[in-house]
Amino acid sequence: MVVNGIIIVLAYLIGSIPSGLIVGKVFHGIDIRQHGSGNLGGTNTFRTLGVKAGLIVTIADILKGTLAVLLPLLFGSELHPLIVGIFAVVGHMYPLFAGFKGGKAVATSGGVLLGYAYPMFIIIFLAFFVCLYLTKYVSLSSILAGIVAVIYSLVIGDIPLIIVVSILAFFVIYRHRANIKRIINKTEPKIKWL
């Protein structure tokens, strides 16, 4: 039980690492929370600091989820890796190290799936980029990726995966509720780099 508690706390702390804040302050002297959407995730980093910084932050946020999923294996615990992954995603959304105001759960959720079921990650990654290429909306692409993940988990029939993916998809959609309103009102900004 103690080991499981340590794993859960570590997962949350890993998720809490504010990649966007670190990259912005260390390499650009900018707090990205004071620019663009004010969000700490990859999308705002792309908009505020450019493609290179955006890619670094996105990859770092993905790896937070992947590392968290591997913690039970590293500690020799039987705790389900997907449960651990949820705590990393919560850490990403509500980071201890950034005033509990973080990202929108997309990249770190993807990292959880990369660590647990990489073929699923590849499929949702492709769905994300096809939608992004066609619509230029990161938010819509993120929501679609979440829906595709739920459908995939239902087809596979892995019960823990269905439950956790449904929770992660809920996080993603809930965190994008303002974006959904802007898409409907046609005021959501489109990317310009693709």
Whether 192 is in a domain gets the answer no
pLDDT tens for 131-183 read 999 999 999 999 999 999 999 999 999 999 999 999 999 999 999 999 999 99
Token pair recorded at residue 129: 């980029």
Say what the pLDDT of residue 55 is.
Answer: 94
pTM, full prediction: 0.94
Token pair recorded at residue 82: 């997907």
Locate tokens 């959904």: which residue?
Answer: 180
Whether 194 is in a domain gets the answer no
What percentage of the chain reaches a pLDDT higher than 70?
100
Task: Provide the number of structural domains found in the chain.
Answer: 1
Domain that holds residue 145: 2-184
Question: Burial of 156 by CB count in 10 Å (0-12 exposed, 13-18 middle, 19+ buried)?
Answer: middle
Question: Burial of 70 by CB count in 10 Å (0-12 exposed, 13-18 middle, 19+ buried)?
Answer: middle
Whether 191 is in a domain gets the answer no
Locate tokens 């707090």: which residue?
Answer: 31
Q: Which band of pLDDT confidence, cut at 50, 70 and 90, is reported for residue 39?
A: confident
Whether 133 is in a domain gets the answer yes
Whether 189 is in a domain gets the answer no
Enumerate residues 6+ apart whose C-beta is below 8 A from 51. Answer: 193
Whether 163 is in a domain gets the answer yes
